[in-house]
Amino acid sequence: MHPYKARRIDPLPQLSVDGWVLKQYSVCHAGQTFDDTRFSGGVTHAVAALPRPARTTERPGVGFVILHQGNGIDYTVLAWWDRENELPLRVFVCDRPGANEWRRARESESVCVWDLQIIWAEREAYVQTILAGAVPDAVALYLAQSLRAAA
């Protein structure tokens, strides 16, 4: 076991696809510089996993993607808001960073403590905007809020 150390978390430009608007975040293992070219395959898998249509009476068409450049393994985490207050998650893994060979996470693979920091911030933003009720432009307000954390 290694002692916990904070990792840099940065918001990236939002991704708009098929009616969806997804916030994007990068997370980097200590000492690394984020390389977005390593994640094209992971993002492709994530976009393909989104339900269609993006917007329904119970689904606002928003969510987020975490591009986690880990210690020897890369992860793409997809999360979207659905059924009013649920957050389905899909995790994709690249065992050989830079190879851009992505697969769906195995049963024992999931999000990690650094991803949970983003998930918590997104939960808070969602509750304060979209779930708050009668908030003008709730979706736009939700999309305007992003986490940034220094290592």
Tell whether omega for the bond before 53 is within 30 degrees of 0, i.e. cis: yes
- To the question of pTM greater than 0.85 for the whole model, the response is yes
Provide the residue ranges of all domains of the chain, joining segments of one domain with +.
8-144
pLDDT value at position 150? 87
Q: What share of the chain is helix, strand, coil (3-state, %, to 5)?
A: 25, 30, 45
pLDDT at 2: 86
pLDDT digits (tens, 9 = 90+) for 72-114: 999 999 999 999 999 999 999 999 988 889 999 999 999 999 9
Cα 74 to the chain's mean position, in Å? 13
48 burial (CB, 10 Å; 0-12 / 13-18 / 19+) is exposed
The strand ranges marked E within 54-130 are: 62-69, 74-80, 89-94, 103-104
The CB density around residue 137, as the number of other CB atoms within 10 Å, is 10
pLDDT of residue 95: 95
- pLDDT value at residue 27: 98
- Predicted pLDDT of residue 112: 96
For position 100, what pLDDT does the model report?
86
Residues in the chain, pLDDT under 50: none
